Amino acid sequence: MQKAALRQKLRDVRQKLTAEQIAQASLAATELFLKNPSWVSAQTVALHLAVRGELPTAALLMAAWEAGKRVALPRMENGRMVMRLVTPTTPLAPGAFGIQEPPATAREVVPSELNLVLTPGLAFDLKGGRLGQGGGDYDRLLAAVGPNCTKVGWCYDFQIIEGVPVEPHDQRVDLIATPKGCRTVIR
């Protein structure tokens, strides 16, 4: 299946989830992921705020702050995604694509500082393939992180598919976190 058709199919499935299904999935995924060694050991994490039916991340964001982790959120600047440091008091405002973003004055977190990147996606496979929205922002971020950074796909279980169509520029994840647990990818 072509990327565009696969994206639309998975968006359609995601949009049919009820608020209760989303809340239950978020709770289950968060509880399981908080026990994962890659999360426990990470000092500086890149998270994202879920939009358009994505698996919510708000509880994970709060847990990161409670655990004393440094948290970076994405901000679109001049057509590129920049990770900026946020605290519980950092004001967020709608930015590109209507997504809440930190202000430009928040400290930039360069990719080499990150120990863990939580990546959204429409589909993942067990070889680490990831199908994003098509803009390439997370591919560029994942390509720039250090070798000890864990790249995590954050999704519903139905978003794990047999094989994601990948191209040479597509970056793979190391781990997939879902409401049913964490799966280390096999390369």
Predicted confidence at residue 1, as pLDDT, reads: 55
C-alpha–C-alpha distance, residues 74 and 83, integer Å: 4
Predicted confidence at residue 142, as pLDDT, reads: 93
| Predicted confidence (pLDDT) per residue in 103-138, tens digit | 999 999 999 999 999 999 988 999 998 988 767 789
Q: Quote the Cα angle for 111-127-8, to 5°.
A: 85
Predicted confidence at residue 133, as pLDDT, reads: 75
| Predicted confidence (pLDDT) per residue in 105-114, tens digit | 999 999 999 9
Half-sphere exposure of 59 (CA within 13 A, CB side): 15
- Segments of the chain with pLDDT less than 50: none
C-alpha–C-alpha distance, residues 158 and 173, integer Å: 17
Q: Quote the Cα angle for 88-89-92, to 5°.
A: 95
Buried/exposed 67-104: b ≥16 CB within 10 Å, e otherwise: eebbbbbbbeeeeebbbbbbeeeeeeeebeeebebbee
CATH class of 3-161: alpha beta
- Comparing CA positions, the residue from 123, 139, 119 lying closest to residue 131 is 123
Buried/exposed 7-23: b ≥16 CB within 10 Å, e otherwise: beebeeebeebeeeebe
Predicted confidence at residue 161, as pLDDT, reads: 87
Predicted confidence at residue 134, as pLDDT, reads: 66
Written as six digits, the tokens of 128 are 């680490």
